[in-house]
Structure 1
Amino acid sequence: MRRRVLLTGGGSAILAAAMAAAAGAQARRDGPPAARPSGPPGRERVEQRFSSARGQTVDFYTAVPAGHGDGRGLPVCLILHGGTKRPADYPALGLGRFLTDAVRHGAAPFVLAGADGDRLAWQPGGRDDPQRMVHQELPAWCAERGFDTARTSAWGWSMGGSGALLLAESFPDSLRSVAAFSPAVTPGDAVFRQVAALRTVPVGLWCGTGDGLLDDVKALRTAMPVKPVAGGYAPGRHDFGYWSTQIPAAFAFLARTLSP
């Protein structure tokens, strides 16, 4: 198996693609992410794995908070990316640093894990099924590392935010919680149609007040059978400049739900 390893301390699909493209264009205009925590990351790795669900080789990213070795025995937060960033970008975004920072501020430790999804949506598309990859293959790859996949949550932004919510709706018994940043949703789509399934899954929902998706995110919140237990609206647009400011709160929320 070839590996590249980095180590440091239908209608809905078309609509999702259009929203992802628009979000990506806005993110490129809005500039770089907010400042990352200054503390070091723990062990971060990006390697290649073959995904049978996707029919192709994908980048597989994991991060362990500093001071927790290889992360054996720690629960897992699955990452679903948006339209522009990929697992190879996660170290530069500072995700490992944010994870270490959350633990140093009192959050129970957990690991991050993610892989390349489709550019259109985290939904099946012919023989390419990124949702099945996240539900079946990612946990299996994590179990090989010794992570505790019996305790799993999901987090995503933009297209990945809607993908994380849809994952929770499709497999509510498999996730302890889901955190969504500015999810690319619209009334009538798959996330709205299955929203009743979120009744048993704690949800954190965040969106910037300058985000073009704000009205749809608010409509989703209204439609949810149980209101989000974390999240809110704050100044910001559809970019990592805003999302970076919300990562600490999201990681604190996820850590609480992943605690033994």
Structure 2
Amino acid sequence: MAARPTRRGLLLAGAGATVLAVGAGWAARDLIRPAPARPVPPDAPTGDERLTSRPSAARGRTVDFYTAVPDGYGDGRGLPVCLVLHGASTTARDFPGLGLGRFLTDAVRRGAAPFVLAGATGDRLSWRPSGRDDPQRMVREELPAWCAERGFDATRLAGWGWSMGGYGSLLLAGTWPGLLRAVAAFSPAVAPGDAVFANVDRLRGTPLALWCGRQDDFLDDVQALERALPEPAARAEYADGRHDFGYWGRMIPSAFDFVAAALAAPARSPGPG
């Protein structure tokens, strides 16, 4: 039996709706909320930022494929990759409007080791397989291959996601230990008893950083996950903020610093399988 379905619901970040897990299916209800908060990008230029389309065999459809290289690093050839998993209210098509390329250039100008961002559109409700639609396999197999075609170093990968994407990043790290050198998760949509908690021991060896706002409905569950980790989180920060980009935008610089350091460091041995 699913634990606390109202907790497990995936909050649509600032989109004015909550998706609730009910039994084995999903039900949606509309909520009246203020206009969605948006991040405030730094005063930095984008580098080589692209939004293209790629056929995904794993998803059985064509998906948007986003990449961003920090300004001053050309086409990004040879740079490691941070895989970006979006939340339920956004897709890869929204990434340029969120200013992710500008945040990336700013991080490098502040001294972070350069890396590229790469993300593709997953399902609106989950980063888990559903029938023949497998967004998790797309991230595990196809996204690194697309990055390698662009000349990026797809042997050095990290993961970053928010809300549903934070959950997906943690699930990816636990499903394939050693795949990711680190995971940065903003307000991951986790709950005790879900797949992330069930396989939490498989996160050993993967540096994790967690951020969650104190006014976020997922705060208790994110802190429960921190306590359940088999080794201390590399970072765990809780500041005033809600489940939206008003909060997450303020945390992006810290997350990119964390990701850059992990990608530049020697690889760690994976945890026990």
Same fold (TM over 0.5): yes
- 2:14·2:37 contact (CA, 8 Å) conserved in 1? no
Aligned counterpart for 1:222 among listed residues 227, 235, 238 = 227
Partner deviation per Cα, 1:212-241 (whole Å, 9 max, x = no partner): 110010111111111211231011000000
2:9 aligned partner, one-letter code: A
Compare the two structures and name the one with the higher helix fraction.
Answer: 1
1:19 aligned partner, one-letter code: L
In structure 2, distance between residues paired with 1:167 and 1:176? 12
Q: Mapping of 1:174-189 within 5 angstroms?
A: 174-189=179-194
Are residues 11 and 23 of structure 1, via their aligned partners in 2, closer, same or farther at CA, if it must alter by over 3 Å? farther
Partner deviation per Cα, 1:5-53 (whole Å, 9 max, x = no partner): xxxxx969x8798324486426963533232101101011000001000
Aligned counterpart for 1:200 among listed residues 202, 205, 215 = 205
Residue of structure 2 equivalent to 1:52? 57
Compare the two structures and name the one with the higher strand fraction.
Answer: 2
Q: Mapping of 1:228-239 within 5 angstroms?
A: 228-239=233-244
Give the secondary structure class of the aligned counterpart of 1:238. coil
1:235 aligned partner, one-letter code: D
Residue of structure 1 equivalent to 2:170? 165
Mark the runs of 5 or more structure 1 residues left unpaired by the alignment.
1-9
Per-residue deviation, 1:173 = 1.3
In structure 2, distance between residues paired with 1:138 and 1:16? 30
Per-residue deviation, 1:174 = 1.0
Are 1:245 and 2:250 an aligned pair? yes
Aligned counterpart for 1:82 among listed residues 84, 87, 112 = 87
Aligned counterpart for 1:209 among listed residues 187, 205, 214 = 214
- 2:66·2:93 contact (CA, 8 Å) conserved in 1? yes
In structure 1, distance between residues paired with 2:43 and 2:236? 24
Give the secondary structure class of the aligned counterpart of 1:233. strand
In structure 1, distance between residues paired with 2:127 and 2:61? 15
Are 1:94 and 2:99 an aligned pair? yes
Which runs of at least 4 in structure 1 moved beyond 3 Å after TM superposition?
Answer: 14-18, 20-24
Identity within the alignment, %: 60
Partner deviation per Cα, 1:69-106 (whole Å, 9 max, x = no partner): 00000000000000011111111100000000000000
> How high is the TM-score relative to the length of structure 2?
0.87
Give the secondary structure class of the aligned counterpart of 1:36. coil
Residue of structure 1 equivalent to 2:133? 128
Residue of structure 2 equivalent to 1:61? 66
Compute the RMSD of aligned alpha carbons: 2.0
In structure 1, distance between residues paired with 2:51 and 2:9? 29
- 1:17·1:120 contact (CA, 8 Å) conserved in 2? no
Residue of structure 1 equivalent to 2:144? 139
2:156 aligned partner, one-letter code: R
Give the secondary structure class of the aligned counterpart of 1:174. coil
Residue of structure 1 equivalent to 2:119? 114
Mark the runs of 5 or more structure 2 residues left unpaired by the alignment.
19-32, 266-273
Partner deviation per Cα, 1:140-191 (whole Å, 9 max, x = no partner): 0000000001110000000000000000001111110001000001100001
Are residues 84 and 128 of structure 1, via their aligned partners in 2, closer, same or farther at CA, if it must alter by over 3 Å? same
Give the secondary structure class of the aligned counterpart of 2:131. coil
Residue of structure 1 equivalent to 2:268? none
